[in-house]
Amino acid sequence: MCGIVGYIGFKKASEVLLKGLSYLEYRGYDSSGVALMTKGKIEIFKAPGKLNNLREVLLKEQNICNKSTSGIGHIRWATHGLPTELNAHPHTCNCGSLVVVHNGIIENYKELKNELEKYGCEFKSQTDTEVAAHLIAHEFSKCKDLMAATTNAVKKIQGAYAFCVMHKTMPDKIIVARKNAPLIIGVGEGENFIASDIPAIIEYTKKAIYLNDNQVAEIKKDSIRITDLEGNLLENKVEFLPFEPVALSKMGYKHYMLKEIHEQSDVARNVLQGKLTNSKSEIVLEDVKLTPKELKNIKRIQIIACGTSLHAGLVGKYILEKFAKIPTDVEASSEYIYRDTISDENTLTIGISQSGETADTITAIKQVREKGSHVLIITNRPDSTMARLADSLLPVNAGIEVSVAATKSYMAQLLSLYLLTLYLVQITNPESVKDKEIVSLKQEMLELPNKIEAVTNNTKAIKETAKKYSSFKDFIFIARGINFPTALEGALKLKEISYINATGYSAGELKHGPIAMLDETMPVLAILNKGCVYDKVMSNCEEAKARQAKLIGVTNFIDRKSKDLFDDILTIPDISDTLSPALNIVVLQLLAYYIAEYLGKDVDQPRNLAKSVTVE
């Protein structure tokens, strides 16, 4: 999960590269660097820490920057070696004639390094990427053709890579190659761009070529040549990028995360648009390619995902089993890929991923495809690697999500799962579509955007609660039933942006161990909607209170008992238990945000994290 950029054309390369890297900071931000092509020389500048440090370095090198109209750049999330200047990309061969930036992991870098040391290669850094620089240079010394050298080198590499390569004797070109890591070529007029992701190039061009796995490209300012690893010429189509640069601005909010939380009412409208028009209408999901016959043959559903997307999948389990009556398992991708799993043509596999580039989930999806399972991908990036592996696609259309903490994409995933569930019911059990519960669920979904707005427009109590509890070092989030995943997701939000130790538990599990931790230093946040488990959660809260824990209630129902029991209550508009996860989570997102903001944390770029985890 690093970000790479490249530019060749007529503009000042350092400016294009820095701007591109700033839009890729969400992919990793522990060091950065650029290589600028000048007359017969490649100048390299690097800096540890945030991108601003590199900006400072380049400000002092304007005499060189002004002369360079091509270059490559990198922003790093360290996988091999500490986040130091030495380990920052670009990396070079011994003599510095060839430079490389890389996103991904070279799994056989040790064997390659041992081999290259026999040819006198001297390694300065602890990175796997430096091995690639020496390997390509070694191949280049034999064939003197940069594209052929890169092709020969990547054939020896195992793992994931998106490379940009330059050689000082070939100032008119940049070579790129990719496998299991995204790489986009932005097509300009008399200039071309390279990036790991769309935000880095969207200000310059809306035309892009997606390089596919095992492809290599030679990029000049007025030409792009793509081949496979055997050197056969390929024609990748030029696609129109569906994003607007405005998506990349904070629109006046202090952080992208706050903006994206407030966008959720519109995101909800977006997700439902064209799919659900009224409470009696049919659900329309054009990209789901399962025929009614195939759908009727589904005996089991397995949902595979990571992090926040996994929590969305856990909510999906409740509604799929409740309404579609299909047994549903939910698995963390990183566990799934190392188990002897069972899938077949009667298994529907749903992969959920905001980025569509999460390595663990991609690996799992490839495994189930080999076993004949139909793969349906729910993603915010229909242009992603995962989307290209899908038999059916359910784009969530939440818009570019810049903040590392997933918020609006989670909302969109939840609603997509409700739509998919209702779609499956419609196909497999058409007469039940008129059931009161299903009609009222559809009606509630149509009313949801306004209810989300009611929460995001009334944040006073949430801000006060955030300030009151911001000094606690530990939190427990509890819920039961369909809101158990909400407790997990609320705890993850707080953990990842405030670094507070927050854990989500099933409320019923409290008495089986975690209650031992409770005292006045460990607040308990309980999510309890009026419904079948309300009284049970209330008694769990009483158990917590008896241990002196401070109690925060998130609920749509308040009575004398709850007023007496809870230290603080955060309310949501009235909503059924079934749809309440989509509303409760907005309160928890805002609570986490205001606690982290109050603590002065780097909300959009929390330490150690990256937006897209493209390594296993």
Enumerate the active-site residues. Answer: 2, 611
What is the rounded distance in angstroms from the CA atom of residue 31 to the CA atom of residue 86?
10
CA distances from 501 to 308, 541, 568 (A): 17, 20, 20
Q: Which is closer to ligand AGP, CB of 309 or CB of 456?
A: 309
Nearest approach in angstroms of CB 609 to ligand AGP is: 6
Q: Which is closer to ligand AGP, CB of 403 or CB of 540?
A: 403
Q: Which is closer to ligand AGP, CB of 72 or CB of 412?
A: 412
Binding window for ligand AGP (CB under 6 A); candidates: 121-129, 180-188, 347-355, 465-473 = 347-355
Q: Which is closer to ligand AGP, CB of 8 or CB of 404?
A: 404
| Per-residue mark of binding to ligand AGP, 280-319 (x: CB under 6 A) | --------------------------xxxx----------
Q: Which of residues 478-507 bind ligand AGP (CB under 6 A)?
A: 496
Residue 604 touches ligand AGP, criterion: CB under 6 A:
no
What is the rounded distance in angstroms from the CA atom of residue 416 to the CA atom of residue 408?
12
How crowded is residue 92: how many other Cβ atoms within 10 Å of its Cβ?
A: 21
Residue 404 touches ligand AGP, criterion: CB under 6 A:
yes
Phi-psi region of 349 (alpha: psi -120 to 50; beta: other; left: phi over 0): beta
Residue 605 touches ligand AGP, criterion: CB under 6 A:
no
Residue 68 touches ligand AGP, criterion: CB under 6 A:
no
Nearest approach in angstroms of CB 481 to ligand AGP is: 22
Q: Which is closer to ligand AGP, CB of 116 or CB of 387?
A: 387
Nearest approach in angstroms of CB 202 to ligand AGP is: 19
What is the rounded distance in angstroms from the CA atom of residue 213 to the CA atom of residue 208?
16
Binding window for ligand AGP (CB under 6 A); candidates: 115-123, 129-137, 400-408, 415-423 = 400-408
Residue 355 touches ligand AGP, criterion: CB under 6 A:
yes
Q: Which is closer to ligand AGP, CB of 361 or CB of 373?
A: 361
**How would you list the strands of the sheet with 524-528, edge to edge?**
501-506, 474-479, 524-528, 551-555, 568-571
Beta bridge partners of 166: 99
How crowded is residue 232: how many other Cβ atoms within 10 Å of its Cβ?
A: 8
Q: Count CA within 13 A, CB hemisphere, residue 303.
A: 30
260: helix, coil or strand? helix
Residue 578 touches ligand AGP, criterion: CB under 6 A:
no
Q: Which of residues 317-336 bind ligand AGP (CB under 6 A)?
A: none
> Angle at the Cα of 412 (from 500 to 487), degrees rounded to 5?
35
Residue 405 touches ligand AGP, criterion: CB under 6 A:
yes
610: helix, coil or strand? coil
Q: Tell me the site size for ligand AGP, rule CB under 6 A.
A: 15
Q: Which is closer to ligand AGP, CB of 73 or CB of 606?
A: 606
Residue 351 touches ligand AGP, criterion: CB under 6 A:
no
What is the rounded distance in angstroms from the CA atom of residue 369 to the CA atom of residue 363?
10
Nearest approach in angstroms of CB 383 to ligand AGP is: 13
What's the token pair of residue 165? 């390569």
Nearest approach in angstroms of CB 309 to ligand AGP is: 4
Q: Which is closer to ligand AGP, CB of 316 or CB of 553?
A: 316
In sequence order, the 6+-apart residues with CB closer than 8 A to the CB of 97 are 42, 137, 167, 168, 169
Out of 127, 196, 343, 358, which residue is the one contacting ligand AGP (CB under 6 A)? 358
- The residue type found at 452 is I
Residue 341 touches ligand AGP, criterion: CB under 6 A:
no
In sequence order, the 6+-apart residues with CB closer than 8 A to the CB of 393 are 287, 288, 376, 377, 379, 382, 387
- On whether the CB atoms of residues 69 and 12 are closer than 8 A, the answer is yes
Q: Which is closer to ligand AGP, CB of 27 or CB of 168?
A: 27
In sequence order, the 6+-apart residues with CB closer than 8 A to the CB of 542 are 565
Residue 406 touches ligand AGP, criterion: CB under 6 A:
yes
Residue 612 touches ligand AGP, criterion: CB under 6 A:
yes
Out of 267, 466, 613, 615, which residue is the one contacting ligand AGP (CB under 6 A)? 613
Q: Are strands 174-179 and 215-220 parallel, antiparallel or unpaired?
A: antiparallel
- On whether the CB atoms of residues 174 and 99 are closer than 8 A, the answer is no
First to last CA, the chain: 10
In sequence order, the 6+-apart residues with CB closer than 8 A to the CB of 13 are 7, 34, 36, 37, 65, 68, 69, 70, 71
φ and ψ at residue 184, rounded to 5 degrees = -115, 140
Out of 69, 354, 367, 456, which residue is the one contacting ligand AGP (CB under 6 A)? 354
| Per-residue mark of binding to ligand AGP, 427-456 (x: CB under 6 A) | ------------------------------
Q: Which is closer to ligand AGP, CB of 121 or CB of 406?
A: 406
What is the rounded distance in angstroms from the CA atom of residue 17 to the CA atom of residue 74?
9
Nearest approach in angstroms of CB 355 to ligand AGP is: 3
Tell me the residue nearest to ligand AGP as measured from the CB.
307
Binding window for ligand AGP (CB under 6 A); candidates: 124-132, 262-270, 403-411, 421-429 = 403-411
How crowded is residue 433: how many other Cβ atoms within 10 Å of its Cβ?
A: 17
Nearest approach in angstroms of CB 599 to ligand AGP is: 18
- On whether the CB atoms of residues 341 and 370 are closer than 8 A, the answer is no
Nearest approach in angstroms of CB 77 to ligand AGP is: 12
Residue 125 touches ligand AGP, criterion: CB under 6 A:
no
How crowded is residue 525: how many other Cβ atoms within 10 Å of its Cβ?
A: 28
Residue 353 touches ligand AGP, criterion: CB under 6 A:
yes
Out of 38, 349, 361, 614, which residue is the one contacting ligand AGP (CB under 6 A)? 361
Binding window for ligand AGP (CB under 6 A); candidates: 125-133, 351-359, 442-450, 558-566 = 351-359
CA distances from 510 to 479, 517, 604 (A): 10, 10, 32
How crowded is residue 100: how many other Cβ atoms within 10 Å of its Cβ?
A: 30
Which residues contact ligand AGP by CB under 6 A? 306-309, 353-355, 358, 361, 404-406, 496, 612-613
